[in-house]
């Protein structure tokens, strides 16, 4: 049998994707254009199926390009300096949130996809960061800015852009459309041909692109090629679940959307085999997991259910919902895994908690976060009711209180730091690649002034540090310094444990509601770790017999000088204390 050359394989795969997306289109010219962009003048590779492109040493940081500022210096240069000085050798990658010129939403309303926002720096600064860290960048694929050249051309009825957007007759029944905002779906705009109504899933400044037009697809193939050439390794497909629109449907997670993701996967894996796709789909669990496909869509999916469940666990003192969810989570097959985080630049999404937490639990958590300064963003249901969509709060302040407070301290019990660190130690232990929002690494508080300045709830967790102030804080015994050092130590320790490989098996343990436990075990090496967490404000005693430790092996407490715990009848955990116990068959351990 003749082996198919990579370029021919690419052509055949693209052709199959286009047949699904554009069944009535004569596709030869479009196919030639796409192959020409991705292969003809570049090397083309045959992708490997079910290959893990990550291991236990991988941890990412999520940050804006201007999260740290120094007077007289480009923010991207300041960021790079901080990453090299504080995190080199600890983190493998950095997600720089949209660094393009934009008009709103802190970057997600893109004016020009192939320029760097001149207030941040330029492509040389991006290239420099990409040389030191795996660079994750946003492909803001669902919409662009109303101030983009494409949309200006749409209003002037000229190319490119005249037919790049979704026009809908306002009389069309769009009641089935699912979206995360309360603003009107259609925005009326004046064009040279009169008034038109364009589809805007998120805001009227973010106009949805019309992927039913293959010219829009071709524009994004050009953008993908450019990003690859500029050093982007990880592509975050922003809001991709909303990509394909068909009135009369939910226009969410349509089959054409999944096919478009498969097409993007085909393009990048033939061009750069180490490149990775991650889908940003803030939707209920089952729909989110569908973006793995058959290991032919996203390499990683955001584990959106983890933040609300983990935060609820820490503030309620009960891991019942978290444990139930984890027991039902499918193991990610090789070539795919979860992208774990607790906090992000947005907020604590609540849709992924639907069906996992009941309404009473969600409302109770929302009320608690509001007591700690949090805001709530809402979405409109089909019946016109509003429902909480996300909680906007810094993660550090989200851990300020616990539920069921006494009347004296209103839930503030002095365990804020312990709760905060315990939550991250738990995140580091579960299956997937961990990611830290920079303001979680630094334990940044709510930024009330920024909210007042921008009038946007999400600004509360988008603080901008002055570099000298940050360095001063990290040089003292501040909570910022204490937590930053603790988290760095945990990241370093995790990266040396084969049992924490993102695809290592995981088994939740049954230790009651106030103690969460999980066993991780490597398929390849057999390495095993049992991680246990007191997620309550009370001291807990765990019988070793309940941990089902292999009796013939040593079990070393790697967070406490490798003490062998075998001889102990039980382990005592102080409030929010945690232990990582590593199996070791032949060792001289501390008693």
DSSP-derived secondary structure letter, 202: S
Task: Assign 3-class secondary structure to 356-421.
Answer: CECHHHHHHHHHHHHHCCCEEEEEECCCCCEEEEEEECCHHHHCCCCCCCCCCCCCCCCCHHHHHH
Report the distance separating Cα 458 and Cα 455, nearest Å: 9
Contacts 24+ apart (CB under 8 A), 45-51: 45/6, 45/269, 45/270, 45/271, 45/272, 45/273, 46/6, 46/9, 46/270, 47/269, 47/270, 47/273, 48/273, 49/295, 49/335, 50/295, 50/333, 50/334, 50/335, 51/334, 51/335
Please identify which residue in the block is written with the tokens 């069921």. 404
Element of type H or E holding 276: strand 276-279
The one catalytic residue in 238, 397, 557, 564 is 238
Report the distance separating Cα 338 and Cα 101, nearest Å: 30
The answer to whether 237 is annotated as binding is: yes
The answer to whether 345 is annotated as binding is: yes
Q: How many CB atoms sit inside 10 A of residue 538's CB?
A: 10
Joined tokens for residue 478: 């501040």
The answer to whether 143 is annotated as binding is: yes
Report the distance separating Cα 166 and Cα 207, nearest Å: 8
55 in catalytic set: no
Q: Is the peptide bond before 49 cis (omega within 30 degrees of 0)?
A: no
Contacting residues for 181 by C-beta, under 8 A, at least 6 apart: 201, 202, 203, 379, 380
User: How many Cα atoms are found within 13 Å in the side-chain-facing hemisphere of 388?
Assistant: 27
> How would you classify residue 574: left for phi > 0, otherwise alpha for psi between -120 and 50, otherwise beta?
beta
Strand order in the sheet with 375-380: 348-349, 386-392, 375-380
The answer to whether 289 is annotated as binding is: no
Cβ(273)–Cβ(47) under 8 Å? yes
Pairing of strands 505-509, 515-521: antiparallel
Contacting residues for 373 by C-beta, under 8 A, at least 6 apart: 393, 397, 446, 448, 460
Closest CA to 463 of 345, 291, 317, 320: 345
Contacting residues for 306 by C-beta, under 8 A, at least 6 apart: 340, 341, 342, 427, 430
Cβ(195)–Cβ(167) under 8 Å? no
Report the distance separating Cα 589 and Cα 79, nearest Å: 42
Cβ(291)–Cβ(69) under 8 Å? no
Backbone angles phi, psi at 223, to 5 degrees: -65, -45
- Which residues are known binding-site members for substrate? 105, 143, 236-238, 345-346, 458
- Which residues are known binding-site members? 105, 143, 236-238, 345-346, 458
Report the catalytic residues. Answer: 238
């Amino acid at each position: 049998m003749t082996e198919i050359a990579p370029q021919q394989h690419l052509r055949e795969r693209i052709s199959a994707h286009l047949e699904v997306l554009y069944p009535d289109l004569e596709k030869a010219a479009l196919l030639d254009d796409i192959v020409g962009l991705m292969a003809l003048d570049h090397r083309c590779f045959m992708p490997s199926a079910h290959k893990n492109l990550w291991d236990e040493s991988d941890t990412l940081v999520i940050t804006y390009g201007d999260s740290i500022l120094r007077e007289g210096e480009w923010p991207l240069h300041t960021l790079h300096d901080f990453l090299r000085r504080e995190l080199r050798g600890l983190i493998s990658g950095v997600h720089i949130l949209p660094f393009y010129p934009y008009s709103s939403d802190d970057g997600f309303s893109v004016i020009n996809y192939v320029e760097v926002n001149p207030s941040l720096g330029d492509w040389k600064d991006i290239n420099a960061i990409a040389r030191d860290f795996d660079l994750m960048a946003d492909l803001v694929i669902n919409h662009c800015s109303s101030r983009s050249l494409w949309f200006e051309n749409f209003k002037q009825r000229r190319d490119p852009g005249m037919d790049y957007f979704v026009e809908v007759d306002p009389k069309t029944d769009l009641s089935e459309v699912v979206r995360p905002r309360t603003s009107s779906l259609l925005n009326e705009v004046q064009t040279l041909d009169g008034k038109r109504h364009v589809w805007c899933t998120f805001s009227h400044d973010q106009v949805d692109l019309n992927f039913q037009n293959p010219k829009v697809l071709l524009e994004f193939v050009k953008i993908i090629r450019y990003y690859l050439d500029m050093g982007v390794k990880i592509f975050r497909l922003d809001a991709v679940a909303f990509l394909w629109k068909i009135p009369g449907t939910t226009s969410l997670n349509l089959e054409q959307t999944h096919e478009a993701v498969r097409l993007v996967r085909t393009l990048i894996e033939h061009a750069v085999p180490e490149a990775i796709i991650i889908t940003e789909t803030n939707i209920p669990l089952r729909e989110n997991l569908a973006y793995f496909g058959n290991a032919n869509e996203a390499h990683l999916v955001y584990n959106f259910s983890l933040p609300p469940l983990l935060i609820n666990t820490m503030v309620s003192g009960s891991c019942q919902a978290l444990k139930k969810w984890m027991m039902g989570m499918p193991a990610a097959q090789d070539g795919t895994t979860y992208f774990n985080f607790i906090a992000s630049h947005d907020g604590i999404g609540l849709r992924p908690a639907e069906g996992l937490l009941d309404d009473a639990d969600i409302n109770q958590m929302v009320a608690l976060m509001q007591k700690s300064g949090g805001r709530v963003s809402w979405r409109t249901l089909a019946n016109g009711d509003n429902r909480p969509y996300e909680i906007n709060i810094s993660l550090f302040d989200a851990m300020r209180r616990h539920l069921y407070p006494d009347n004296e301290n209103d839930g503030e019990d002095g365990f804020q730091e312990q709760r905060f660190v315990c939550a991250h130690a738990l995140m580091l232990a579960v299956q997937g690649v961990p990611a830290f929002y920079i303001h979680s690494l630094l334990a940044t508080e709510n930024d009330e002034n920024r909210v007042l300045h921008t009038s946007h709830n999400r600004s509360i967790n988008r603080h901008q540090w002055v570099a000298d102030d940050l360095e001063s804080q990290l040089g003292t015994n501040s909570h910022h310094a204490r937590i930053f050092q603790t988290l760095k130590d945990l990241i370093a320790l995790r990266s040396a444990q084969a049992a924490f490989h993102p695809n290592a098996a995981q088994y939740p343990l049954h230790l009651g509601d106030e103690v969460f436990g999980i066993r991780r075990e490597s398929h390849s090496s057999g390495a095993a770790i049992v991680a246990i967490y007191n997620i309550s404000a009370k001291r807990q005693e765990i019988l070793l017999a309940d941990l089902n430790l292999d009796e013939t092996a040593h079990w070393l407490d790697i967070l406490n000088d490798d003490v062998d715990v075998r001889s102990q009848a039980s382990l005592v955990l102080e409030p929010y204390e945690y232990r990582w116990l590593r199996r070791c068959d032949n060792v001289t351990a501390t008693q």
